[in-house]
Amino acid sequence: MLREISPLDGRYRAQLDELGDLFSEFALVRERCRVEILYLLALDATGCFPPLDDDEKARIDRVLNGFSDEDFARVQAIEASTRHDVKACEIFLREALDLSSPGAIHFGLTSADVNNLSYARLIKRYREDSQLPQLRRLVAGLTERANAWVNVVFPAFTHGQPASPTTAGKELAVFLRRLLEQIRTLEAVRLRGKLSGATGTYAALAAAAPDVNWPAFSREFVGAMGLEWSDCTTQVEPCDSLAEYFGATARINSVVLDLDIDLWEYISRSLLVQEPVAGEIGSSTMPHKVNPIQFENSEGNVAMANALLHALADKLTHSRMQRDLSGSTVMRNIGVALAHSFLAVEQAIAGLSRVDVDEGACRRAVDAHPEVLAEAIQTILRSEGMADAYERLKILTRGTSVTRDSLRRWTDELDVRDEVKARIHALEPTAYVGLAASIGSRVVRDARDWLGGS
């Protein structure tokens, strides 16, 4: 493994090892064989062929549950001469199963029937066994910090300029809320599958076995795989549900990207601090560096993942007339897209695990900008009937140096009731966080409910 083209199979292989069992060529060939065998077993109940005997069932079980490296090598050897991947699986199964009725294998099917079900099953398994558990870890990490930091006053920036303060926990809760919404969308996507022959008409099946209700058979077979049945298709399943899944994954990645960028910014402003890792080097020449490399790596992998996910969603929902082959080569990159996505989330989790908030630095940053109280002051004055309150505060604070003393002197000169002046004098930048804590706490509760029930 010294000359890999993709970093997924080289530099990042150890982090992606579990995905090799889902998106490698071996995994795809194994899944095709499994789909063919499951179809064969379902077909056995129709009476189209003599029933399978015990010896045949034992051989079927061996391949279904024990597909080996040697089996894969044999399929590859067959494909080298046939130049057709699904046909190679069929020929392999004819050899390995040694059925008395070998014509039952791949009976009435087209390669698209096998492929669409294989990919959908692999993606479904990835979502359930890898993607959602990983997202749970991200949500758990965010929930823990959002809860711990919910009352920690935190400077806010709109257009990069000081704005009304917030709390660190509430700002993490924003990402938490967005993630929960998109994860629920991801969970709700029902991946679809078809099994209806060369142009979606069941023509060969109906010609060979007209007494079988093939649409009903197809519906039951696809449903037994945990997929939604596509009842009207061409040769290919339209892939709209795949596009929904890729879109939901890409939106989750976009939230992760926003999180990466904001945390990177807060680290650069010394509002968040990183725990140094023993032995880690931040720069080949500057020994002091502790770089936010996990967030940067996550950002880069989101870019790669989303470029591919959007391309997949766009391409796979288009097929010339009843079928063309351009989508087939694109589908082989599904694992690449999801692996970059997996890396992006994993790096975000790693980065989050080593950051903490510097409460003192945050309070100092908020205290340094008393002009943020202008929003509160002009709103209080508006409630007292001062029509030009905004304009007056704008003249006082915009583009000028403002101190607590200058705000106090200005307030003392106002023609308003003393109790209004007292309310304005009592304003503190570090206490001007509105309902941030309760907002953050509400999202934390929702996240905990999801973590406990999912």
347-374: per-residue pLDDT in tens?
999 999 999 999 999 999 999 999 999 9
153 secondary structure, DSSP code:
E
Q: Which residue has the tokens 């015990």?
A: 54
Name, in order, each residue with C-beta under 8 angstroms of 98's C-beta and a sequence gap of 6 or more. Answer: 56, 59
Q: Could you tell me the CATH superfamily of domain 13-45+49-106?
A: Fumarase/aspartase (N-terminal domain) (1.10.275.10)
Cα 268 from chain centre: 26
CA separation, residue 415 to residues 196, 217, 398, 412 (Å): 81, 83, 22, 8
Give the model's pLDDT for residue 284: 47
DSSP characters over 217-274: HHHHHHHHTT-EE--S-SSS---HHHHHHHHHHHHHHHHHHHHHHHHHHHHHTTSEEE
> CB count, 10 Å around CB of 3?
5
* Catalytic residue status for 340: no
Model confidence at 14, pLDDT cuts 50, 70, 90, reads confident
CA separation, residue 103 to residues 40, 41, 68, 87, 310 (Å): 10, 13, 24, 13, 40
Give the model's pLDDT for residue 72: 97
Whether the CB-CB separation of 143 and 448 falls below 8 Å is answered with yes
Catalytic pick from 81, 159, 284, 288? 159
The percentage of residues in the chain with a pLDDT greater than 70, rounded to a whole number, is: 96
The percentage of residues in the chain with a pLDDT greater than 90, rounded to a whole number, is: 84
Q: Which pair of tokens denotes residue 334?
A: 């599904």
Is the pLDDT at 340 greater than 80? The verdict is yes
Model confidence at 2, pLDDT cuts 50, 70, 90, reads low
Model confidence at 88, pLDDT cuts 50, 70, 90, reads very high
Residues carrying CATH 1.20.200.10, the chain: 129-199+234-364
Give the model's pLDDT for residue 287: 59
Chain segment 243-282, per-residue pLDDT in tens: 999 999 999 999 999 999 999 999 999 999 988 766 665 6
* Catalytic residue status for 159: yes
Residue 281: is it exposed, middle or buried by C-beta count within 10 angstroms (0-12/13-18/19+)?
exposed
Contacts of 103-106 with CB under 8 Å at 24 or more apart are: 103/49, 104/40, 104/43, 104/44, 104/48, 104/49, 105/36, 105/40, 106/36, 106/39
Q: Please state whether the predicted TM-score (pTM) of the whole model is above 0.85.
A: yes
Q: What is the CATH number of domain 129-199+234-364?
A: 1.20.200.10
Catalytic pick from 268, 270, 283, 353? 283
Chain segment 190-210, per-residue pLDDT in tens: 999 999 999 999 999 999 999
Is the pLDDT at 1 greater than 60? The verdict is no
| Phi and psi torsions of 387, nearest 5° | -70, -30
Strands 192-193 and 228-229: parallel
In total, the chain counts a number of residues equal to 454
Whether the CB-CB separation of 397 and 162 falls below 8 Å is answered with no
Chain segment 206-251, per-residue pLDDT in tens: 999 999 999 999 999 999 999 999 999 999 999 999 999 999 999 9
Q: Which pair of tokens denotes residue 446?
A: 């929702």
Among residues 95, 131, 116, 104, which one has the least CA distance to residue 39? 104
Q: Which residue has the tokens 């001007």?
A: 432
Question: Helices 240-268 and 334-353 sit at what angle, rounded to 10 degrees?
Answer: 30
Residues carrying CATH 1.10.275.10, the chain: 13-45+49-106
